[in-house]
Amino acid sequence: MGRGPPDGAAVSSAAMNATPQPDDEAAARAANSRLVRDFGLLIKSATRLEQRIDGELRRECGISHTMLEVLIRLCRRPGEEISQRHLADDLTLTSGGTTRLLDRMEEAGLVHRIPSPADRRVTLVETTPRGSEVFLRAAAVHARLVEKYFVGPLTADDHRRLTAALDRIDTALRDDT
């Protein structure tokens, strides 16, 4: 009653399809490749993780995970000038997406925009006091979830190696184009 197919029965329906294409075998081989599965796992677990934290943040703090990422960057070094462009690059968003994200955050009273005195094209983004406050609550939720799903299942060594590996992957991605 385990996971594997019970050998014969399940295969019957597709066998009626016509001549068993030579493609089918090749496709089955490709689909069962180790790398394909591993890669899928990376994407899937990251997606699940983000969905989980996003849902929890929305429920408990009323902000999305993306908004939290913005607040993280704005709170990191208070007073540092951060432009929309900079945020867009850092968050892997387009400039248009960033515009509207900040529209929503501004409307929610979490940030405000200030035209840069040095360059009249750029607008700088700052947290409001309310932004910092919401961020603190969100950070607590975040910490709890990270603890549970990211730290809990891993040894300290695993964690260190995982981070290092991701960092190399991320660097490779950024360096290319």
40-59 positions binding a copy of itself, by CB under 8 A: 40-52
- Determine if 127 is a binding residue for DNA (CB under 7 A): no
Start-to-end CA span in the chain (Å)? 49
Q: How many residues bind DNA (CB under 7 A)?
A: 27
From the number of C-beta atoms within 10 Å of its C-beta (0-12, 13-18, 19+), residue 132 rates as middle
122 binds, among a copy of itself, DNA, none (CB under 5 to 8 A by kind): DNA
**Of these, 26, 97, 154, 163, which contacts DNA (CB under 7 A)?**
97
Q: How many CA atoms lie within 13 A of 147 on its CB side?
A: 6
Least CB distance to a copy of itself at residue 23 (A): 5
Q: How many residues bind a copy of itself (CB under 8 A)?
A: 87
Residue that is written with structure tokens 């990270």 in the block: 146
Binding to a copy of itself (CB under 8 A): which residues in 150-169?
Answer: 150-154, 158-159, 161-169
Least CB distance to DNA at residue 1 (A): 12
List phi, psi (to 5°) of 7.
80, -75
Which of 125, 148, 137, 151 is CA-nearest to residue 58? 137
